[in-house]
Amino acid sequence: MTATSDTDLIVVEQDEHVATVRLNRPDKLNAVTQEMSTALVRIVAALNDDPDVRAVVYTGTGRAFCAGSDIQTLDRYSTPWEFRNRRDYCDALRELRKPVIAAVNGYAFGGGLEASLTCDIRIAAETATFAAPEVKLGWIGGGGMSALLASSIGASNAALMLMTGDAIDAGRALAWGLVSEVVPGEELPARARELARTIAARPPIATQGAKANLRAAWNLPLDQAITYEREMQTIAFATNDADEGRAAFAQRRPGIFQGR
């Protein structure tokens, strides 16, 4: 395994083809410092470069998933421009090419909500809550909050969250489509790993291609998105894994995929 953390505030673990990245600052509700953002940039680069990692679980320690940026550290930026040009943890997660599951174990507030939205799949504990509270403090989210929230739960629901700053519970998050599943808190880690293992068992070029196609669908006009998808399909179809998949189907056996 090549992905390791150089800070105790983020824990990286690997079980076969699944890596778990866990924020580990429970006394501060896993609020993210610049040190943690910088570490996450390095962790994501290592995960991308490690062919043995095929799926990632992103979660937090304790009663919070992530309470966003550590507000007490924001005044350390000498100018708004310096703040604007920082390496942000949501930017780091966006660079992750592997499928990533957010296991939302508690508070997902501010940048924590943005981080969960940046992940491909979100599942939540029954006690999880979600909020975009920045408006209460005089600013707004800057890590993709508006666009990702609106695409996830619709413009009206997004406006309600963004303009009031008030939290919603896991049940409402499920009803609105913000999360895919809600499970008892004690079952969340196992369910996240189970889902990650299922994805990791699929051909990795195909799963990463599916992720790229989804991002193209969000960012391109329909005709261009379909063209992009067709090109990605052609690339996947030409791989050894696709040959193995067809052979395994014909022989009625599980496929053995190598990412080639």
For 123, residues 6+ apart whose C-beta sits below 8 A from its C-beta are 101, 102, 103, 104, 179, 180, 181, 182, 183, 188, 191, 192, 195
The answer to whether 134 is a known catalytic residue is: yes
Phi-psi region of 4 (alpha: psi -120 to 50; beta: other; left: phi over 0): beta
Among candidate residues 16, 35, 82, 114, the one labeled active-site is 114
With 0-12 / 13-18 / 19 or more C-beta atoms within 10 angstroms meaning exposed / middle / buried, residue 118 is: buried
- CA distances 113 to 136, 152, 167, Å, are 15, 12, 11
* Longest distance between any two alpha carbons in the chain, whole Å: 64
Structural contact between residues 113 and 131, judged by C-beta atoms closer than 8 angstroms: yes
CA distance 35 to 254: 43
Distance of CA 125 to the CA centre of its chain: 16
Residue 187 known to be catalytic: no
Alpha helix ranges (H) inside the chain: 34-49, 80-84, 89-94, 111-118, 145-153, 155-164, 170-176, 188-200, 204-219, 222-237, 240-251
Which is catalytic among the residues 16, 35, 82, 134?
134
Q: Which residues are catalytic?
A: 114, 134
